[in-house]
Amino acid sequence: MFIAMDVKQLLKNSGFRFNKQFGQNFLTDENLLAAICRDANINGGTVLEIGAGAGTLTRALSRCADKVVAFEIDRNLEQILAVTLADCPNVSLIMGDVMKYSMPQIEQLTGDDYRVVANIPYYLTGPLIMRFVEESQRVLSLTLTVQREVAERLAARPSTKEYGAITVAVQAVADVQVKRVLPRELFYPVPNVDSAVVTVDFKRDKFDIPDMKLFRKVVRAAFAMRRKTLLNCLAVGFDIDKERTAKIIAACGLQQNCRGETLDVQQFVKLCRVIKEEI
Ligand code: SAM
């Protein structure tokens, strides 16, 4: 049977060239791979992995899931994956760019409800998370190995510099937890930044959001000009005069000079409700 320790050797022997553009920094530590599977709460069920790399996390997932659907964009990894996944019959490998697949296409491949587990490259993080937040109804959770700052941004509290539009968008429909920090030395090759494993557990009914599209617009507007007050941001974002905006802010029980970044998710929900009634 193939063991993860052989991966580095296998990559060397095959003359594989790491592609920086695809964020190729692989995980090989068996204990860490098992810990990520525990973080993701995989006990059977279906898992979608994005970016199989050399297949080390894919193998660990295949041991605790019923079915794994794994995407990998880099065709140069196909031969390597044929070796590392040879004894993983419950893995379906799709050699392609996950961003070129629509959500219905992805969910046709996964079939049931599913959990996403991925060690994803930085360039994909924001767009990928937002796709699952905004477009999927079947995803149960995301367990992502991301740049440490991104994990901290997702789990941030109001009035901190990490707190932003993506924090509110995600925390409005999910519970977020940073599970572990991963020093850069755990990756092969070693990247320039540390990473963290973050879980996003979807709870779509967490808040009673009257209009999701409007909620997203409110959040985007509130954070669009970080140094401006909420009043200014909403007046610009919704193209309404400041007098009307001031009434909306007062109806929410907020200070006229507050900034968007001081509002918690519940306050954003209330703001959304008032705007829906007033505009
Ligand atoms: N899961 C492996 C691991 O943990 O060792 C590999 C992780 S590596 C950080 C990210 C992987 O995602 C790379 O193998 C890269 O080629 C792949 N990738 C990057 N962009 C992708 C995309 N748009 N669609 C599918 N795979 C992608």
Cα of 51 vs centre of ligand 1, distance in Å, is 3
pLDDT tens digits, one per residue of 8-25: 999 999 999 999 999 999
- The residue-averaged pLDDT of 170-195 equals 97
Q: Which two tokens stand for residue 258?
A: 């507050």
State the closest ligand 1 atom to the C-alpha of 49, by its place in the atom list counted from 1: 1
pLDDT tens digits, one per residue of 42-101: 999 999 999 999 999 999 999 999 999 999 999 999 999 999 999 999 999 999 999 999
Q: Are 121 and 144 in contact (CB under 8 A)?
A: no
Same-domain pairing of 131 and 248: no
Q: Where in 100-253 does DSSP place strands (E)? A: 114-119, 139-147, 174-182, 187-188, 195-202
Distance between CA atoms of 70 and 249, rounded to whole angstroms?
A: 46
Same-domain pairing of 150 and 231: no
State whether the beta carbon of 25 lies less than 6 angstroms from ligand 1.
yes
- Cβ contacts of residue 189 below 8 Å, gap of 6+? 18, 25
pLDDT(167) > 80: yes
Q: Domain range holding 69?
A: 7-202
Same-domain pairing of 108 and 231: no
Same-domain pairing of 173 and 233: no
State whether the beta carbon of 195 lies less than 6 angstroms from ligand 1.
no
State whether the beta carbon of 260 lies less than 6 angstroms from ligand 1.
no
Domain boundary (202, 237, 264) is at 202
Same-domain pairing of 77 and 176: yes
Higher pLDDT, 160 or 1: 160
pLDDT given for residue 279 in this prediction: 85
Q: Are 154 and 179 in contact (CB under 8 A)?
A: no
pLDDT tens digits, one per residue of 268-277: 999 999 999 9
- The residue-averaged pLDDT of 244-259 equals 97
Same-domain pairing of 221 and 135: no
Give SS3 for 110: helix
Same-domain pairing of 90 and 217: no
The CATH number that applies at residue 243 is 1.10.8.100
Give SS3 for 92: strand
- Cβ contacts of residue 245 below 8 Å, gap of 6+? 231, 234, 235, 238
State whether the beta carbon of 144 lies less than 6 angstroms from ligand 1.
no
pLDDT tens digits, one per residue of 191-250: 999 999 999 999 999 999 999 999 999 999 999 998 899 999 999 999 999 999 999 999
Q: Residue 4's pLDDT band (boundaries 50, 70, 90)?
A: low
Nearest CA to ligand 1 atom 11: 51
Cα of 47 vs centre of ligand 1, distance in Å, is 15
State whether the beta carbon of 229 lies less than 6 angstroms from ligand 1.
no
pLDDT given for residue 2 in this prediction: 58
The answer to whether residue 31 sits within a structural domain is yes
